[in-house]
Chains A and B, each alone.
Chain A
Amino acid sequence: MSRSIPGWPEEAREAAILKKKSFLVLSGPNLNLLGTRKTSIHGEDSLEDIHKGLQLRAEELNVQVDCRQFNSEGDIIDSLQEAPGRFNGLIINAGALAHYSYALRSAIEATLLPCVEVSISNVHAQEEFRHTSVIAPACSGVIVGFGKKSYLLALEGLVDLSGA
């Protein structure tokens, strides 16, 4: 069934209808090493495996994900600044930056997008300095401790939050 929208070319109408919600997934420093270091804490899966899993889950949920990893704080901030208007929400595993990067917190706040903070390990069972996240107050929700599944749960939670 085809309803025409006055003034819109047919292709634009199709694109608007087909437009899926899109989420940006950012991973911070050292997460490119997943699967190769401290596997008892962080698991055996590589970040690439996690990204593949997110793509599969996104298809099931009828949304899109764009997954990126940066070791540099500045690169993450650049990505966050470009996110408004392109993405409907954010998932961020900031790695160690979670515990001290106020610049990241400000960048998340500035996006005005719903954001879920993710951690693979249960940070609360690790060293004291990992118990504090300075970015958590800028996020809608927090999910920690479920291994690679933390990312998948975050995607589900974000889809629910954004009504996709």
Chain B
Amino acid sequence: MARHIAVIHGPNLNMLGKREVGIYGGKSMDDINSDIAAEARKLGVTVEFYQNNGEGELVSFIQQCRGRVNGIVLNAGAYTHYSVALRDAISAAQVPTVEAHISNVYKREKFRHTSVIAPVCIGQICGFGAYSYILGLRALLDEPLDPWLA
């Protein structure tokens, strides 16, 4: 079965590599997307990328993923911590979604310790830098990660 994954970046992630590189690393969003695309080719899946700073645009995009993509890797940025609308969109889309963060949010300010989207995601990955997205992609796939299925 062909598998198609959407990688979605939320607010301010277009600034990657330009702001607070001590926390988020020196790679730009385009660099990270290239790495994800390379990994996807290795895994035999297709990916598409989307970034928007607007909550409403992200909600609309996630809604449109329904029935169209097999999985979502979502870094919702700061919306993670308060956007109930995003949470409802994920629920409504009925697409397995992995929550990913570049930094370990639990090492940071208290308000970042709560994710309102986590309960509707299949799982959460944070703290591995840009590699969090790669792990998120792999988490959505069974092969070749899972030696039990090999």
Contact = CB atoms under 8 A, between A and B. Distances in A.
Contact of A57 (B127, B131, B139, B147): B147
Given A122-B119, A136-B106, A143-B124, A157 B147 contact: no
B61 interface: no
Contacts of A56: 147
21 contacts: A53-B146, A56-B147, A122-B121, A124-B118, A124-B124, A136-B104, A137-B106, A137-B107, A139-B104, A142-B106, A142-B124, A142-B125, A143-B124, A143-B125, A143-B139, A145-B121, A145-B123, A153-B139, A157-B131, A157-B132, A157-B135
Interface of A: 45, 49, 53, 56-57, 116, 122, 124-125, 131-133, 136-137, 139-146, 148-150, 152-153, 156-157, 160-161
B122 interface: yes
B71 to A, nearest CB: 12
Contacts of A152: 145-147
Contact of B128 (A131, A133, A160): A160
Interface size for chain B: under 10, 10 to 19, 20 to 34, or 35 or more residues?
20 to 34
B128 A146 contact: no
Contacts of B121: 122, 124, 145
Contacts of B126: 141-142
Nearest to B131: A160
A160 B35 CA distance: 14
Contact of A139 (B120, B127, B139, B147): B127
A130 B111 CA distance: 17
| Top 7 A-B pairs, shortest CB-CB distance | A145-B123, A141-B127, A124-B118, A136-B106, A56-B147, A125-B119, A157-B128
Contact of A153 (B113, B114, B135): B135
A140 B104 contact: yes
B147 to A, nearest CB: 4
Contacts of A131: 114
Contacts of B138: 153, 156
A121 B136 CA distance: 15
A141 B145 CA distance: 19
Contacts of B147: 53, 56-57, 152
A132 B124 contact: no
Contacts of A139: 104, 106, 127
A96 B106 CA distance: 17
Given A145-B121, A157-B125, 18 more contacts: A45-B148, A53-B146, A122-B119, A124-B115, A124-B118, A125-B120, A133-B106, A137-B107, A141-B126, A142-B104, A142-B124, A144-B123, A144-B124, A145-B123, A149-B145, A152-B147, A153-B145, A157-B132
A141 B119 contact: no
Contacts of A140: 104, 127-128
Interface in B48-71: none
B103 to A, nearest CB: 9
